[in-house]
Amino acid sequence: MKQNWWRSAYKQNHLVFKLGISILFVGFGFRLLFSQSPSVIPDVSDNNTDTPVAEKNVKPIPLDVSESPKIELNHIRPKDGSEKCDILDGEWVPYSGGAPYTNNTCRWIESHQNCMGNGRPDTGYINWRWSPKSCELPRFDAKKFLETMRDKSWAFVGDSITRNHLQSFICLLSEVEDAVELFHDKDYKNRKWQFPSYNLTVSVIWSPFLAKADIFEDIDGVSSSEIELHIDILDKTWTEQFHTWDYVLFSSGKWFIKTAIYFEENTILGCHGCEGKNFTDLGFNFAYRKIVKNLYDFIMNSNKQSTIIFRTSTPDHFENGSWSTGGTCDRRVPAKEEAQASEKGKKLKLLDVMPLSLVRPDGHPGPYRHFYPFAKDKKAKVQYDCLHWCLPGPIDQWNDLLMKLVDYKIQKWHFPSYNLTVSVIWSPFLVKAETFEDKNQSSEIQLHVDVLDKIWTQQFDTWDYVLFSSGKWFVRTAIYYENNTILGCHGCEGKNYTDLGFNIAYQKVVKNLFDFIMNSNKQSTIIFRTSTPDHFENGPWSSGGTCDRRVPAKEGEFELGIFNRILREVELPEFAKAKARASEKGKKLKLLDVMPLSLVRPDGHPGAYRYFYPFAKDKKAKVQYDCLHWCLPGPIDQWNDLLLKLVVDD
């Protein structure tokens, strides 16, 4: 029997919008909002690249959909995150735009990284941009970043490379508003700034080991004794402030190669590089691994819901020696990828700056850590710095990657003439979820089915209309927790847990969502959007699935696969129960069922055109298709026709 879910008669009503309405879209598939208009002022500025207009005589590929068999949609999202562009797979390309700031416009550059101010004669090192092979990496948008980070606090915790990175970060933001320094210690190693108009604070914390360390060095790095490193005690310099930060970037690594004595529980455990002493040489990797593990344990056990970014270690480019033995770095152009491919470090998620930094031997201060080092003697012997980075320089693009990590979680727009605000909140499970990814982006999700996500619950009472949607992420492998105890799992082969199936977790979450709404004092209008279909054919996302159709399918041609059926078997009954309760409590609860009209639109996905002109160079190029999200403009726009009808009826 054919289902006519979407065929219902509507009455025509008028709607008067009140000033001061706030609408929220929460969940996974939230790209349904609005087409752009000059009257819309985004709180987060747009940074899109104009796309050339296609030739008008291009015709759609003819497809005889009438003869196509029924297709069951059973594909799930990949576990390995392969839907995301690998921004680290790319190359440095010439760029004539130069740096976004100079040593004259930014007053926060330390003298040792002020290559221009110290007389470096070439400026070619600032005329390159990192270009991923399969997508675009937008430049750091300081205005957008500041708007996104209103009333937030950032901290950079680590060594002198961290401080180097922080200075680039501050310089980029200062192009919009000059930072005001609120604090510094006597050595200027711990500092704090504020961007007053945005109430954003940024701190840098000197903690080269991230753990307690007694260091016996002078200002030039000359040691009088071995470092005493307590690998089981994290550094109080940052742990005592951790609860005050919303975003924390940690990085370390370089200092671990120094000679050190390792302590655990205040007892000597061993050492690294301690020849002549009667201690076991454990190697610096032993200490580094222990401390990184302790760092993650601290974060996981903290009550503070901060966003944590771990920046990988970075390369130096000393040639003909080391820092202390006359090593130099006189290159003036990026290296070719092939020249150093074998030395590439592991590609981690988070902020992995190693690959793009490895091929930039031209970006270090070298002798220009000193003020005009060859002014008096062109053959003078000076110490080179091939470890830190010039400002401005390649290090600025670490912040392009950084912005890529953080700028999409929450966005907010304002329509000033109507005083209407619209927010979007990233919460794919709607509940507390912790994702742990390894270097291959394989992940294990720890899902707390009884703890709704604070990122939206803490703001719920500020919104008048809220649209919730979820579902797709529940098909991923996950461990389920209830009352902080393991309840079971989904897809967790090899583990000694009961596989409950994702439908159990989804049902519990949806029920908890509706319970929260029913018990809230806020009289918002709640709209629950159903899950949506994908249209992969010939395989799933991660193994060559495609969606090349150019016209809508005929009714009945596509059937819901098992995963989408299970999602609907949870959504519709749970909504019906909640709707009955809502009537008793005077709550306004609406269902936005977009599955039926979306199911017959296999032609509406980006497909291969998630990339910029994917077949321009090779008409037979193999590219990854996106048959899950929707083109804009496209069929998804009619979801808003239904949404408007729901609001009009309200």
Q: How far apart are CA 127 and CA 394, in angstroms?
A: 9
Annotate 355-424 with DSSP letters as a single string. HHHHT-GGGS-BGGGSSSTTSS-TT-----B-SS--SSSTTHHHHHHHHHHHTTSEEEEEETTTTEEEEE
559: tokens are 């059937």
Helix (H) or strand (E) run with residue 490 in it: strand 485-490
Q: How far apart are CA 28 and CA 30, in angstroms?
A: 6
Helix (H) or strand (E) run with residue 588 in it: strand 588-592
Beta strands in 431-484 (DSSP E): 431-437, 443-452, 465-469, 478-482
- Annotation says 388 is catalytic: yes
Q: Which of 75, 230, 364, 388 is catalytic?
A: 388
Beta strands in 136-178 (DSSP E): 153-158
Strand partners, 311: 351
Residues in the chain: 650
Q: Is 541 left (phi over 0), alpha (psi -120 to 50) or beta?
A: alpha
Q: Which of 141, 159, 235, 385 is catalytic?
A: 385
Radius of gyration over alpha carbons of the chain, in Å?
28
Query: Closest Cα partner for 300 from 79, 136, 481?
Result: 481
| Number of C-beta neighbours around residue 212 at 10 A | 18
The secondary structure of residue 294, as a DSSP letter, is H
Burial per residue of 160-187, b for 16 or more beta-carbon CB atoms within 10 angstroms, e otherwise: bbbbbbbbbbbbbbbebbebeeeeeeee
372 residue type, one letter: Y
Q: Which of 160, 251, 357, 598 is catalytic?
A: 160
- Annotation says 461 is catalytic: no
246: tokens are 């919303």
Task: Provide the CB-side half-sphere exposure for 133 (13 A, CA).
Answer: 10
319: tokens are 């040639």
Burial per residue of 107-143, b for 16 or more beta-carbon CB atoms within 10 angstroms, e otherwise: ebbeebbbbbbbebeeeebbebbbbeeeeebebbbbe
Q: Which residues contact 650 (CB under 8 A, 6 or more apart)?
A: 15, 525, 588, 590
476: tokens are 């991923």
Helix (H) or strand (E) run with residue 338 in it: helix 337-340
Q: How far apart are CA 443 and CA 305, in angstroms?
A: 20
Q: How far is CA 511 from the centre of its chain?
A: 29
Q: How far apart are CA 133 and CA 623, in angstroms?
A: 11
- Annotation says 385 is catalytic: yes
Which contacts qualify for 81-85: CB closer than 8 Å, 24 or more apart?
A: 81/349, 81/437, 81/441, 81/443, 82/441, 82/541, 82/542, 82/624, 83/541, 83/542, 83/624, 83/626, 83/628, 85/132, 85/134, 85/135
Question: Helix, strand or coil for residue 156?
Answer: strand
Q: How far apart are CA 209 and CA 610, in angstroms?
A: 42
185: tokens are 């210690």
Annotate 110-121 with DSSP letters as a single string. -GGG-TTTTT--
Active site residues: 160, 385, 388
